[in-house]
Amino acid sequence: MNVLIIGAGSAIAVATARLYAARGCSLFLVARNTQRLEELAKDLEVRGAAKVGQHTLDVLEHDKHAEAVSTAREFLSSVDIALICHGSLPDQAITETDFAAARRELDVNGLSVISLITLLSALMKEQGAGTLAVVTSVAGDRGRQPNFVYGAAKSMVSTYLQGLRGRLLPHGVHVIDIRPGLVDSPMTARFEKGVLWSTPELVAGNIVKAIDRKRHTVYTPGYWRIIMAIVRSIPDVVFKRLKF
Amino acid sequence: MQLSGWGNYPAVQADVLAPASAAELQSLLAHNAYGNWICRGGGRSYGDSALNGRVVSSRYLDHFLDIDEDAATVRCGSGVSLGQVLEVVIPRGLFPPVLPGTKHVSIGGAIAADIHGKNHHVEGSFCDHLESFSLLLADGSILRCSAAENAGLFHATCGGMGLTGIILDATLHLNKVSSVSINNRSFSAKNLQHCLELLDEHNAATYVVAWLDCLKQGEDLGRGIVYVGDHGDDDNLQLVKRRGLSVPFHTPGFFLNRFTMSQFNNLYASWNKGRGDTTLQNYEQFFFPLDSIGNWNRLYGRKGFLQYQVLVPTEAKDILSRIIRRVAESGQGSFLSVLKKFGKANNNPLSFPSAGYTLTLDFRWRESLFPLLDELDALVLGCGGRHYLAKDARLSESGFKTGYPRWQEFMQVKAEVDPHNRFASLQSQRLGLTPVSTSHSSHKKAGPDK
Ligand SMILES: Cc1cc2nc3c(=O)[nH]c(=O)nc-3n(C[C@H](O)[C@H](O)[C@H](O)COP(=O)(O)OP(=O)(O)OC[C@H]3O[C@@H](n4cnc5c(N)ncnc54)[C@H](O)[C@@H]3O)c2cc1C
Ligand SMILES: NC(=O)c1ccc[n+]([C@@H]2O[C@H](COP(=O)([O-])OP(=O)(O)OC[C@H]3O[C@@H](n4cnc5c(N)ncnc54)[C@H](OP(=O)(O)O)[C@@H]3O)[C@@H](O)[C@H]2O)c1
């Protein structure tokens, strides 16, 4: 099995990559920090990966996406699984008043992802097979006061995937939308953690399972499906007063 | 956040930082020039050795750096757990020479406590198989340490409870094995004397440990089961993937004794029926029986528990029965205790193991426990014994200094590499290894300070 991971330095991606390495898969890693990529590549080899390739990319540089994807393809020869995992959780207050900041966040969490999906869809269509798994967020289920710029970008991707899933069906390509809840990772280092929090390792286990079983929309951990159903069902007149 | 060791006592408010790389960790230290820190790995020490108002976690120092199958060595970050090491080395026919009772211990924690396994009499302790490690010092520099290079610092760090610096990565020697199945023979011991005889008799086996029933008094005092294990010859190098149960929340403390008591009684009964005599077990069952129940520490309830692990020198073994008797009389001890026989000590000033017996007892937290433990301390220290710092939450400074007569040697190294005590834990302050700090507030919950 050949696995491409974009945003490979993220805690969730690292934990997922390790599960694939333990299965003896070949991996291609794309991330922004070259030194971390090298460290991770060695780590995955020791953990059992058949081979590991890497490529440095800042996802904001859209014109370099094609090169990253084609390098991955060359290294892996076929891309059976592509996981897109990068993201950033901005300071909401700044993005509300500084549009340049908001646009950058919409790009990292939304547009850059769609650019990469566009390239990967074409590649997998051509292969006539593949699984495209994209990490979005429960934050995309409903815009909430503390993170609606981030949420808007994530829901853009989720909506896009809903349509794409059908488009790629005749081509044997499967599309998965992975929506983690609260995960204790560097992204959320500044928050106090409570009972609803889970770990990158647990989420990674769910991601691999979802890919194995060709699921469609995955909430991880599973109880977030219920929580978000409740959150979505709150009437606007009430919801607009909620600060969470 | 509220933080505690595995025993859930004491608990303090702590800022926990988890730098994403060694480089980030280095700059974190550089940019926080005052106050002190302690490093935390798997959080499996029971008391306050990994507690402080400011804690730095090694969780992201979890990369493997290299494995050399011919030389049988592995090099990895200090945040890698022994469980992860097993996953990587077993398929290659390699096995760690020293394993504790849980696989969730980090390499950094294993070094800092110089941990021991059921085979101390054969293999010594964890750091006896350590080729080298790199240590981040208080001044931000990184030093490679081994028995040959920076030897003083190496020995002080092995067993040094995180007080010399932060271990970033380490190279460990492994054993070559053909099987990770364990041939586990069990023998029932009718009392303590019998148990000690069995431990001696099986001294040639690789793994030897005894479980004692601590409620029995009189003639049956020290009744127990002695387990004797050796690697099987079935060429099994399979990893075991086990998905156990987990205790989701703190249960009222009385659950626990019922739980262990029934477990033990089953075992004892099955032994007496002649079953359970010899079984081929997988390594998880043999080494990590408790890991099959996640968060079992919650069974002791919200106030937590203390584990009391001491060393009694060989020549003073009578003290063992006095300890067990005193605990049985008090009615406070938990039902089970563990007894092992150690081999010789190594050269690390603060390493716990030394020729003799080590007895481990669990106690649910209650106020009346502390005077009892003080009484036991007197017995232990009076016979030249000592306490295992990785389990300790309440020993006095003088108790520590009596048990570890080489503490000053350690302090000399500490003064050289960390003159401003940038690395300190609540434990090090209590034991007089670092000055009591006033720069942060730590609120203890659950009961009085000892
Ligand atoms: C169920 C169970 C069974 C056990 N069985 C055994 C046993 O059989 N034998 C045995 O010897 N012990 C045993 N232990 C104790 C355990 O092995 C030790 O407490 C060990 O130190 C825990 O490692 P940790 O990674 O959890 O460290 P923590 O609890 O997080 O920290 C322990 C100490 O190590 C230091 N430390 C951690 N990481 C670093 C680092 N990177 N650099 C410098 N210092 C560091 C901390 O500062 C602290 O002083 C057991 C514990 C449990 C819960
Ligand atoms: N943590 C949560 O609670 C949570 C909840 C729901 C969804 N998610 C989603 O899960 C995914 C993984 O997050 P995580 O929790 O694992 O956090 P993380 O460890 O902080 O990972 C985020 C990753 O995105 C990368 N990244 C950010 N901007 C980039 C850019 N311009 N170019 C390339 N890479 C960039 C970061 O790279 P650097 O390391 O170089 O900065 C980092 O590796 C994200 O999509 C996130 O939105 C997380």
Is A109 a residue whose pLDDT tops 60?
A: yes
Smallest CA–CA distance, residue B66 to chain A, in Å, is 6
Confidence band (pLDDT; 50, 70, 90) for B441?
Answer: very low
pTM: 0.95
B106 CA closest ligand 1 atom index: 25
Other CB atoms closer than 10 Å to residue B441's CB: what's the count?
Answer: 8
Cα dist from A148 to A64, A131, A138, B372, whole Å: 28, 29, 11, 57
Backbone angles phi, psi at B84, to 5 degrees: -70, -35
Asked if residue A74 is part of any domain, the answer here is yes
Q: What are the angstrom distances between the C-alpha of B313 and each of A73, B212, B293, B341, B383?
A: 64, 19, 33, 10, 7
Q: Name which of A46, A186, A192 is nearest B67 (Cβ-Cβ).
A: A46
Q: What is the DSSP letter of A183?
A: B
* DSSP secondary structure letters along A110-131: IIHHHHHHHHHHHHHHHHT-EE
User: Does the pLDDT at position B30 exceed 80?
Assistant: yes
Query: What per-residue confidence (pLDDT) applies to B448?
Result: 39
Angstrom distance (rounded) from CA B27 to CA A100 = 30
Closest-approaching ligand to the CA atom of A179: 2
**Confidence grade of residue B35 (pLDDT, cut at 50, 70, 90):** confident
Determine the Cα angle at B241 with ends A41 and A8, to 5°.
25
- Strand-strand pairing, A52-56 and A81-84: unpaired
Contact B63 A192 (CB under 8 A): no
Q: Is residue B447 very low, low, confident or very high in pLDDT (cuts 50, 70, 90)?
A: very low
**Average of pLDDT values for A172-201?**
95
Maximum alpha-carbon separation in chain A = 55
Structural domain includes residue A175: yes
Contact A43 B65 (CB under 8 A): yes
Q: How far is CA B335 from CA A23, A229, B54, in A?
A: 42, 47, 36
| Per-residue confidence (pLDDT) for residue B262, from 0 to 100 | 61
CB-CB neighbors (< 8 A) of B23 in chain A: 35
Whether B383 shows a pLDDT value over 60: the answer reads yes
- Please provide the distance, in angstroms rounded to a whole number, between the alpha carbons at the two ends of chain B: 23
Q: Give CA–CA dist A55/A67, Å, rounded.
A: 10
pLDDT at A13: 98
Reading the block at residue A24, the tokens are: 């003896």
**Coil, strand, or helix at residue B305?**
strand
B66, B95, B173, B285, B368 from B71: Cα distances, Å? 11, 13, 8, 28, 52
pLDDT, averaged across chain A: 97
The residues, ordered by sequence, that sit 6+ positions from B101 with a Cβ below 8 Å of its Cβ are B287, B288, B289, B290
Q: Is residue A208 part of a domain?
A: yes
Q: Which ligand is nearest to the CA of B424?
A: 1
- Region B105-124: mean pLDDT is 98
- Asked if A22 and B87 come within 8 Å (Cβ–Cβ), the reply is yes
The total number of structural domains that make up chain A = 1
* pLDDT classification of B63: cutoffs 50, 70, 90: very high
Both tokens of B203, joined, read 């001294």
B424: helix, coil or strand?
coil
Q: Print the domain residue range for A144.
A: 2-239
Query: Chain B residue with minimal CA distance to A47?
Result: B88
- Among this protein's residues, is A219 annotated catalytic? no
| pLDDT at site B450 | 33
Cβ–Cβ under 8 Å, residues B184 and B102: no
Quick check: is A138 in a domain? Answer: yes
> What confidence tens digit (pLDDT) does each residue in B397-434 have?
999 999 999 999 999 999 999 999 999 999 999 999 99
Query: Which residues in chain A are contacts of B1 at CB distance < 8 A?
Result: 192-193
A75 in any annotated domain: yes
Mean pLDDT computed over every residue of chain B: 91
Q: How far is the CA of B197 from the centre of ligand 1 (A)?
A: 30
| Cα of A42 from ligand 2 centre, angstroms | 21
Contacts of A35 in chain B (CB under 8 A): 23
Query: Of residues A153 and B445, which shows the higher confidence score?
Result: A153
Q: Are B355 and B133 in contact (CB under 8 A)?
A: no
Domain CATH for A127: 3.40.50.720
Asked whether the beta carbons of B171 and B131 are under 8 A apart, the reply is: yes
Q: For the purposes of burial, counting CB atoms within 10 Å of the CB of A230, is it exposed (0-12), middle (13-18) or buried (19 or more)?
A: exposed
Question: Helix, strand or coil for residue B66?
Answer: strand
Pocket test for ligand 1, best of B9, B44, B154, B336 (most atoms within 8 A of CB): B44
Domains and CATH numbers, chain B: 182-401 (3.30.70.2520)
Question: What confidence tens digit (pLDDT) does each residue in B233-283 have?
Answer: 999 999 998 776 777 777 766 666 656 666 666 666 565 554 447 889 999
- The sign one gets for the Cα dihedral B107, B112, B116, B121 is positive
Nearest to A92 by CA among A194, A206, A191: A191
| Least confident window among B4-8, B13-17, B30-34, B226-230 | B30-34
Q: How far is the CA of B101 from the centre of ligand 2 (A)?
A: 35
Per-residue pLDDT tens digits for A53-105: 999 999 999 999 999 999 999 999 999 999 999 999 999 999 999 999 999 99
Contact call for residues A136 and A179 (beta carbons, < 8 A): yes
Query: What is the model's pLDDT at position B302?
Result: 87
CA of B81 to the centre of ligand 2 (A): 24
Higher pLDDT, B450 or A141: A141
Q: Residue B212: beta bridge partners? A: B224, B337
Neighbours of A41 (CB within 10 A): 20
DSSP letter assigned to residue A107: I
Name the minimum distance, in Å, from the CA of B149 to any CA of chain A. 25
B394/B5 Cα distance (integer angstroms): 13
Contact indicator for B199, B208 with CB cutoff of 8 Å: yes
Domain presence at residue A43: yes
| Residue A244: inside a domain | no
User: How is residue A171 written in tokens?
Assistant: 């081509």
Question: A11-22 vs A200-212: helix axis angle to the nearest 10?
Answer: 50
Does B17 sit within 8 Å of A43, measured CB to CB? no
